[in-house]
Chain A
C-alpha cells in the first residue's frame, strides 16, 4: 500500500501503566488504521520523555498502584499539553488508572488526595471493595460495549462530561448510579479491560475516524473481517459475572 497518509498513536506510560492487557487497544487501533490505508507509527511515551508533537490518537491504560506513583508527577507536568490537545479535538482513550488520573483527583482509603490533571470532570474515591467481573454497558452511538472491570476506585461524573455507556450488567463507574466511563469532546475514559477495543470495534473505528478527519478532513473506511469480533461478543455476553 502506498498511501501517503499517516497517523501517529501515542501510548502513554507504556512501561508503567500496562497491567491489564490494555496493550490490545493500541494494537487494534494500529491494525485497523493500517487496514484503512494509513501508515501508522506508535510512539511509547514514558516519564521525562519529550511529548511527541504530532500525536493523532492518545491511548493510556491501567497500572498497579506503584505504577501510578511513578507516573503521577510526570502526568501533571504534561497535563496542560494533553488538555490543549483535547480541546483541539484529538481523540483519546484512557482506561482504568489513567481514566482516574485524567479526572480531578483520586482520594485514597486513608483520605490522601492524589491530584489528576482535570481534563475530565470526574472525581474518584477509593471504595471498600473491588468491583470485579464481566460487564456490559450500552451506548446509543456504539451499541453494546462489552468488557471486564477490575477496580476499587469509585468514579462520579460532573456536569462537564457525559457517560460512555449505561449499565446493562456489572458495576461501572461506582456501582451506585447507572453509568460507565466518561466522554468529553473526543476523549473517552472507561474502566473496561478485555482489552476494550478488540471486542468493541465500533469504538476503535470512531477513534481512527476522528483522528483522520482532524488531520486530513476526510476518512474512508474499508471492509474489515469482523466475524471473530462478532462471535467473541456473542459468547462474552453469555458469560457469568
Chain B
C-alpha cells in the first residue's frame, strides 16, 4: 500500500485541481513527484494484478471492452478511463479511486498505456497479462520507426508474468510472440475472408505477401456484417453489436481472448457474450451523437492504416462527410501520412467540409484523388468549419473523420448543440 502522506496530499491536490476545473493528470504528476513508488505500491494490493493494453490503434476502445467484459464475470475493475494513457494519468485515476488509507477496492486493474510510457511502467509494475493489438505506422515523429515501436512492445511482452495475448495477423507481433514460451502466449485472429479488409503498412504496395503459417487463434473473428460471428473453442458464437466498424469488431475479438485468458476455466460465456452485445464505442471512436435530429458520427483517425480501415468500414452513401486534420504533438506533426491513405472512395459523394489547422493540406490531398471540395468549405478554424458543416447539411446524417486534438475540440463545440458525454 502507498505511503499515507502521499495518499492524503495527492487527494488534496486532486480536490483542489477539480475545484479549479480541468487538469486531470496534474494530481498524478504531483503524487508521482513526491512518492515515486505510489502507483506500484497501490497496484500491488490487487489480488489479480495488472492487465496492460498496448498497440498503435484501438487501445481506448479495447480497454473499455475488457473492463466491461471482466465486470460481466463478477470482477471489480480499476481502469484509467480518462484516456490519459501516460503513467501520471494512471496515478491521477488511482487518487480518485482509493480511500483515505490508500485502499483500492478492486480485484484487477486494466490499463491502457502509450507504448513509450508502458516500457518504463512495466519495469516497476510487471503486468500479469498484456494485450498487443497491432504495430502500425504512427507517431513516426516521436518514435522514428515502426521497428522501434515493435521493440517497445517486445519489452512489455517480456515483462509480462502470465499470458501475452497477441494479434496473430501482425507479422511483427508474431515475431515477438515466437520468442516467448508457448504456454505464455494466446492469439486472436481473423478469418481468411476478412483479411483483405485489413491492409497493413507492409502491403501498401505490391499486394499481399505470402502468409507464414499462422498459429491457432483462441478467438477468431469470422464475419462482421450486421452481426458478428466469433469462433471460440470450435463453436461459432453469433451476436449483434453496438460497435461500429470492422476494426472495432476485431478489437472485440482481442478483448474476448484477453478476458478468457484472465478468467480461465471459470468463464461464464453466455454472460460474456450478452455483455459484449451492449458495449458502446469509446468517446470519439465511432461515437454517434444526435445533432438537430440527425446522427453525427465522430471517427478518430491517427495514422494511414487506421484511416484506410475507417474509410473501408463506413459507407459514405447517404452521409455528409467532414474531415478535420490538426498537426499538434498528439496528432503527429508530419502530414506525409495523408498521402498513404486512398480517398477515392469519397469521389462519388464528395467531401462537404474540410477543417483543422492543416485543412489545406487535406484539401490538397483530396484534389489529387479527384475528390471535389469547394474552396469555400475549407476552413482552418474548427469552430467555424463545424458551424458551416452543420448549417449546410441540416437534414443529412453526418460523419466527421478527425485527428485526436481535432476530435477533442469538436466534442467541446458539439456540446453547444447536443448532449456530449463528459469524459471523466
Contact = CB atoms under 8 A, between A and B. Distances in A.
Interface of A: 14-15, 18-24, 27-28, 31, 44, 46, 64-66, 130, 132-134, 148, 150, 152, 193-195, 198-199, 225, 227-229, 231-232, 234-236, 239
Contact of A239 (B147, B206, B327): B327
B204 interface: yes
A73 to B, nearest CB: 18
Nearest to B334: A148
Contacts of A15: 202, 205-206
Contacts of B363: 228, 231-232
Given A134-B333, A195-B336, A232 B364 contact: yes
A228 B359 CA distance: 9
B137 interface: yes
A235 B358 CA distance: 7
Contacts of A231: 360, 363, 378
B360 A21 contact: no
Interface string B330-364: 00011111111000000000000000011111011
Given A20-B140, A21-B336, A198-B365, A235 B357 contact: yes
A230 to B, nearest CB: 8
B367 interface: yes
Contacts of A193: 334, 336
A194 B333 contact: no
B306 to A, nearest CB: 14
Contacts of A132: 141, 144
A195 B364 contact: no
Given A46-B206, A199-B364, A239 B333 contact: yes
The majority secondary structure among interface residues of chain B is helix
B403 to A, nearest CB: 14
B339 A195 contact: yes
A194 B340 CA distance: 11
B340 A21 contact: yes
Contacts of A229: 364
Contacts of B364: 198-199, 228-229, 232
Contact of B334 (A20, A227, A235): A20
B1 interface: no
A227 B357 CA distance: 17
B145 interface: yes
Nearest to A234: B360
Given A46-B206, A235-B380, A21 B327 contact: no
A21 B206 contact: no
B75 interface: no
A19 B200 CA distance: 12
Contact of A236 (B146, B340, B361): B361
A220 to B, nearest CB: 22
B336 A194 contact: yes
B314 interface: no
Nearest to B364: A228
B182 interface: no
A232 B206 contact: no
B19 interface: no
Nearest to B341: A21
Contacts of B375: 227-228
8 contacts: A20-B334, A21-B335, A21-B339, A24-B365, A198-B364, A229-B364, A231-B378, A232-B361
Contacts of A152: 144
A23 B339 contact: yes
B368 A133 contact: no
Contacts of B137: 19
Contact of A24 (B201, B339, B358): B339
